[in-house]
């Protein structure tokens, strides 16, 4: 799968996804109440998946894994901080928990169990290595571009497995060429194929936006074999990622869906970060794009035996920080992304 990025800066640096060089901290959706029958744990873990951590805590307490609530899954190859919840009656037994990869930093009471999606976003801190003077300047320039323009919201490599081919098994399952009895594994693999289709749609739209920087609307239609008029009113838009009539927009960073009609108005709101276009994660019970946008979206839409979704195509990193340590050739980078977004997208844009 070829992913296109808007900055051909060709920057080389070293990033090791490890607890030493990569930290992730979850940002809760709301402030916890301080009272109630549930206990919220602020937990720091390393070299464990979220599922690993939950299993260790559940086994220690002698409870079912499902009794522990969590908002999102965090990387194994990182130092991560996240919030989980369980019934407060287990609080005393937690004091005996002793594991090298798990540390409970804080506890507080709350009225209800934490549910999946109950987070605003994540704060990422990463150390890039072997960054020399010229590379440092390129990183500075790339970060400035991201600050001004945002970045594509691809699904990260985690969705596709070590060799990047999980989506192929998902496609075979849909085509009834592969049978997987384990429901969770089957849905995971099919979900990987959904992500693959979304990423390819996003690559096509970025390719389109890049071409519009050099060619006319009609020339781009010819190059991409699109019907005449598909790209009407796109080239003169000021932002990099061009909107197309019929795009399904969403208020940012969360809100309701609506169709793009007056492109000049929607482009202005997009530039001000009030709204952002969405792409289709194919499946049932999901709104499709109409009009000209639907022409392109339909190329990446297939019948999938899972519910689909709309996913932001374009996002913004906030609270960006940087620190260069020349004697070590280290570049320390920090930023915040909305929930469901991958830090690797920032790195991929910076690499070009």
Angle at 220 between CA 314 and CA 282, to 5 degrees: 45
Q: Is 75 a catalytic residue?
A: yes
Marked catalytic residue, from 75, 169, 247, 348: 75
Question: How many other C-beta atoms are found inside a 10 Å radius of the C-beta of residue 218?
Answer: 15
CA distance 266 to 216: 21
CA distance 97 to 324: 39
Which amino acids are annotated catalytic?
A: 75
């Amino acid at each position: 799968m070829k992913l296109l990025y808007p900055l051909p800066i060709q920057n080389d640096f070293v990033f090791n996804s490890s607890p030493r060089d990569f930290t992730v901290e979850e940002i809760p959706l709301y402030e916890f109440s301080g009272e109630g029958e549930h206990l919220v744990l602020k937990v720091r873990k390393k070299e464990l998946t979220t599922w690993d951590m939950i299993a260790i805590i559940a086994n220690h307490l002698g409870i079912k894994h499902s009794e522990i609530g969590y908002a999102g899954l965090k990387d194994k190859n990182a130092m991560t901080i996240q919030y989980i919840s369980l019934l407060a009656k287990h609080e005393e037994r937690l004091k005996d928990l002793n594991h090298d990869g798990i540390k409970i930093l804080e506890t507080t009471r709350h009225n209800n169990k934490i549910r999946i999606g109950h987070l605003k976003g994540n704060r990422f801190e990463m150390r890039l290595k072997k960054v020399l003077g010229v590379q440092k300047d390129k990183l500075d320039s790339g970060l400035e571009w991201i600050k001004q323009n945002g970045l594509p919201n691809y699904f990260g490599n985690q969705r596709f497995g070590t060799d990047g081919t999980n989506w192929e098994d998902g496609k075979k399952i849909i085509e009834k060429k592969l049978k997987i009895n384990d429901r969770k594994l089957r849905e995971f693999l099919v979900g990987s194929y959904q992500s693959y289709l979304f990423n390819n749609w996003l690559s096509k739209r970025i390719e389109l936006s890049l071409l519009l920087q050099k060619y006319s609307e009609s020339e781009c239609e010819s190059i991409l074999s699109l019907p005449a008029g598909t790209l009407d009113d796109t080239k003169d838009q000021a932002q990099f990622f061009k909107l197309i009539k019929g795009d399904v927009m969403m208020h940012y960073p969360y809100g309701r869906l609506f169709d793009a009609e007056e492109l000049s108005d929607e482009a202005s709101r997009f530039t001000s970060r009030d709204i952002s276009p969405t792409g289709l994660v194919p499946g049932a019970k999901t709104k499709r794009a109409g009009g000209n946008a639907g022409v392109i979206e339909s190329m990446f839409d297939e019948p999938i035996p899972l519910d689909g979704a709309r996913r932001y195509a374009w996002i913004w990193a906030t609270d960006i920080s940087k620190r260069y340590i020349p004697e070590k050739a280290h570049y320390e980078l920090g930023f915040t992304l909305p929930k469901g977004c991958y830090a690797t997208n920032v790195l991929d844009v910076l690499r070009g």
